[in-house]
C-alpha cells in the first residue's frame, strides 16, 4: 500500500469518527470542536488532492471564522448542554428513512458508478497555478462581491439577533 492510501484511510476514520462524535455529543461545545476536527481532516484531504489553496481556505474560513462564530453564539446563549426536547413522533422514522436512502445512494455510487478513467480535466485548465488563483480572486471581488457582502451582513444580523433574544430572555428570568 502506498503512503497516500494509508494517510487517506486513517484520515477517513478520523473524519467519520469526528462526525459521529459531533452527532452524538450531548454538549454543544464538544460538538462544535468535533466539527472543527472534521474541517481539518477535510483540509488535509484537499492537500492530498493537490489543492493547497482550497485547503488553507477551508481552515481559514470554516475551522477559523465560522466555528468561532458558532462557539461565540453557543457560549452567549448558554446552550452548552442540550436540554431534553419534546421531539415530534415523525422525526425518528424520517431520519431512519433518509439515512437508508443515503446509504443506498452511496453504495450505488461507490460500486456501480465509480470509474476513475471517467475523470476529465479540460486541457486548457490551469490547475494550482498563480494564474488560476488570480482568476478566482478577480471573480470573487468583481462578479461575486455583492453575495459575499450580503452573506457577511446576514451573519452579523444573526449574531446581533441572538444577542438581543438572549438579553430579553435573561431579563425576563430575573
Taking the CA of residue 153 as centre, how many other CA atoms within 13 Å lie in the half-sphere pointing to its CB?
6
- pLDDT, one tens digit per residue, over 45-72 is 998 888 888 888 888 888 788 877 777 7
Rounded distance, CA 32 to CA 21, Å?
10
Which residues partner with 27 through β-bridges? Answer: 81
Residue 85 pLDDT > 80 = no
Rounded distance, CA 160 to CA 50, Å?
39
- Please report which confidence band the pLDDT of residue 92 belongs to, taking 50, 70 and 90 as the band edges: confident
Q: How many CB atoms lie within 10 A of CB 58?
A: 21
The lowest-confidence range among 34-43, 75-84, 153-162 is 75-84
Residue 37 CA, distance from chain mean position: 10
Q: Report which of 86, 70, 72 is spatially closest to residue 31, judged by C-alpha positions.
A: 70
- pLDDT, one tens digit per residue, over 118-161 is 544 445 555 556 677 788 778 878 888 888 788 888 878 877 87
SS3 of residue 36 by DSSP: helix
Q: Report which of 90, 3, 80 is spatially closest to residue 48, judged by C-alpha positions.
A: 3
Domains (ranges, CATH) in the chain? 1-82 (1.20.120.1200)
Cut 0.85: pTM above it: no
- Please report which confidence band the pLDDT of residue 101 belongs to, taking 50, 70 and 90 as the band edges: very high
Amino acid at each position: 500500500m502506498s503512503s497516500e492510501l494509508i494517510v487517506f484511510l486513517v484520515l477517513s476514520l478520523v473524519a467519520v469518527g469526528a462526525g459521529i462524535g459531533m452527532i452524538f455529543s450531548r454538549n454543544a461545545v464538544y460538538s462544535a470542536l468535533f466539527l472543527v476536527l472534521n474541517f481539518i481532516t477535510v483540509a488535509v484531504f484537499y492537500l492530498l488532492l493537490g489543492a493547497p489553496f482550497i485547503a488553507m481556505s477551508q481552515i481559514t474560513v470554516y475551522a477559523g471564522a465560522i466555528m468561532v462564530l458558532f462557539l461565540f453564539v453557543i457560549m452567549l446563549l448558554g446552550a452548552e448542554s442540550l436540554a431534553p426536547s419534546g421531539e415530534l413522533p415523525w422525526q425518528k422514522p424520517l431520519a431512519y428513512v433518509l439515512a437508508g436512502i443515503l446509504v443506498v445512494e452511496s453504495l450505488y455510487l461507490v460500486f456501480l458508478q465509480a470509474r476513475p478513467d471517467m475523470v476529465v480535466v479540460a486541457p486548457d485548465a490551469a490547475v494550482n497555478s498563480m494564474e488560476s488563483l488570480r482568476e478566482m480572486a478577480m471573480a470573487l471581488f468583481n462578479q461575486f462581491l455583492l453575495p459575499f457582502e450580503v452573506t457577511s451582513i446576514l451573519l452579523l444580523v444573526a449574531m446581533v439577533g441572538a444577542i438581543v433574544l438572549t438579553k430579553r430572555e435573561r431579563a425576563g428570568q430575573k
